[in-house]
Structure 1
Amino acid sequence: MIRTTSLLFLPLSALVMLGACSQQGKQSSSPPSHGEVVAHETELVRLTLKPEAVKRLGIETTRVGAGTAALARETSGEIVVPNGTGGVPTGALSNLAQIGASQASADGEVERTRAQVRLARIALERASRLVAEEAGSVRARDEAAAALATAQAQAQVAIEQRRLLGPAVASLGNQSRLWVRVSVAGTDVAAINRNASIIVAPLGTTQGGRKGTPVQAPPSANAVAGTVDLYYALDNSDQFWRVGQRVGIRLPLGKTQEGLSVPASAIVRDIYGGEWVYLQTAPGNFIRQRIEALSSGQDGAVVIRGLAPEAQVVSVGAMELFGTEFGVAH
């Protein structure tokens, strides 16, 4: 009775506090968040085709085998004009107007020195004839010979200076041989196989890739960005490349990695760049499986994640299955 009386006469604020504590106890017993299990992505893309559908789509499968791929690094580069004898290659960032003015001045200097050589040769021939006729001095002949040698040296210097400026600006668009400049971080230069060729392709596509061979070029780097420039030669006899064009580069590294080999036709890519293959789990049953390809070419691809050895993948008709799954006609 005493307990009941004391509880009845508790202040109103204490009762409010007791109620709040009781409510907090109820709230703390329920978790602040919860997760809901959804279907796995492989369960969302399971396809079951009848034999006639498999035949109509031309589905063919192959067994996954072991493969080895050379490691490479994807980067970008710029098409530039090679120099003649050691000058800096001409690219899109070059001041073409300034280069054109320098070339015009250098061309004029070459012609001037050649004219001096012709004049000095005439003077030497005249002095030599006078000496032969005993009408001139040997000293005058020797001075004429020295003047000719000096004019020839000046002409050679002018020619070399002109070569350093590269081909004429007007002919930059029809060069049969171009270079590609690749800027590589200074910390990554040692990992690149400098003696191996690279693959050059237009940006945004894997088609049209061509081989570039390493060349010796004058050292150039960007101290602010911490990059070193590497140069590779490209055949441009068909005018495929343009000076200043940005291209995709596949730089070979000096390492290889083992994986699983699948045909290139087995890989499909979604709009986000994800790579997939279709696994055959049973006759007429196919599952879209996400993979990670280390390297991919026309001959095949090496997969390092997402596949198990001896798995059956769709080698012909993968795009048809992709269209069947999403209702897109192929």
Structure 2
Amino acid sequence: NPIMEISALNSLWVRVPIPTGDLDSIDQQADAKIQPSSTSPSISSLVAKPINAPPTADPLTSTTHLYYAIQNDHLALSPMQRVTVTLNTQNQSTHALTLPWSAVVFDIYGGSWVYTQKSKYTYERKRIFLDYVSGHQAIISEGPPEGSMVVVNGALELFGVETGFAH
């Protein structure tokens, strides 16, 4: 005999574990964007509303859980499905440096880099500090000056030629 049966799938809750130290930086009253992890970033996100649920946390991972309700009329989601969640922060800047995600390369230590064009056939690798990725855009906190010519297609090939390391 089943312990519980889920019969209505048109409205689901999404549990979002947040590192406890980051909880104050999250705008807990703002909507969340939900996207099934198995879909392409080009598919539009679903909107979920914050709900006041009983507080829960996981002491092993030092996370506190936020809950969001999502209308699932088209049954795009199923219970226990993993999703990607985008949350707003309290001090979200309206001006951010962005560049195409395809321009970003990573070294063996996890450092993130882009290649900028110095002259017609000369490129230079520049360190960036990646804040987050939204769709096909990388949002960075530090990197080349705004307006720099950045290699979008072929950055991995340049990295391989420069370092001898192929991805």
TM-score above 0.5: yes
Deviation at 1:290, TM superposition (A): 2.7
Q: Which has the larger radius of gyration?
A: 1
Correspondence 1:213 to 2:52: no
| Residue matched to 1:83 | none
Q: How many residues align?
A: 163
Unmatched runs of 5 consecutive residues or more in structure 2: none
Which of 284, 303, 320 aligns to 2:140? It is 303
The answer to whether the 8 A contact 1:201-1:249 is kept is yes
Correspondence 1:196 to 2:33: no
Quote the RMSD (CA, aligned, Å): 3.9
The answer to whether the 8 A contact 1:200-1:209 is kept is no
Note closer, same or farther for the CA distance 1:328–1:221 as it changes in structure 2 (3 Å cut). Answer: closer
The answer to whether the 8 A contact 1:194-1:214 is kept is no
AA aligned to 1:212 is V
Which of 267, 283, 300 aligns to 2:104? It is 267
| Residue matched to 2:125 | 288
Deviation string, structure 1 residues 284-323 (Cα, Å, up to 9, x no partner): 1112323112233246333222323443212344345446
Which of 241, 256, 261 aligns to 2:92? It is 256
Note closer, same or farther for the CA distance 1:243–1:308 as it changes in structure 2 (3 Å cut). Answer: same
The answer to whether the 8 A contact 2:31-2:50 is kept is no
For residues 108 and 73 of structure 2, the distance between their equivalents in structure 1, rounded to whole angstroms, comes to: 35
Correspondence 1:177 to 2:82: no
SS at match of 1:315: coil
Correspondence 1:98 to 2:7: no
The answer to whether the 8 A contact 1:196-1:213 is kept is no
SS at match of 1:288: strand
AA aligned to 2:150 is V
The answer to whether the 8 A contact 2:28-2:50 is kept is no
Which of 318, 321, 329 aligns to 2:155? It is 318
| Residue matched to 1:245 | 81
Q: Alignment identity in percent? A: 31
SS at match of 1:303: strand
| Residue matched to 1:230 | 66
Deviation at 1:273, TM superposition (A): 4.5
Unmatched runs of 5 consecutive residues or more in structure 1: 1-95, 100-168
Deviation string, structure 1 residues 163-218 (Cα, Å, up to 9, x no partner): xxxxxx1636xx23322012446665443212322233456998467333224344
The answer to whether the 8 A contact 2:115-2:124 is kept is yes
Task: Give the TM-score normalised by structure 2.
Answer: 0.67
Relative to total residues, which structure has the larger helix share, 1 or 2? 1
For residues 183 and 328 of structure 1, the distance between their equivalents in structure 2, rounded to whole angstroms, comes to: 35
Relative to total residues, which structure has the larger strand share, 1 or 2? 2
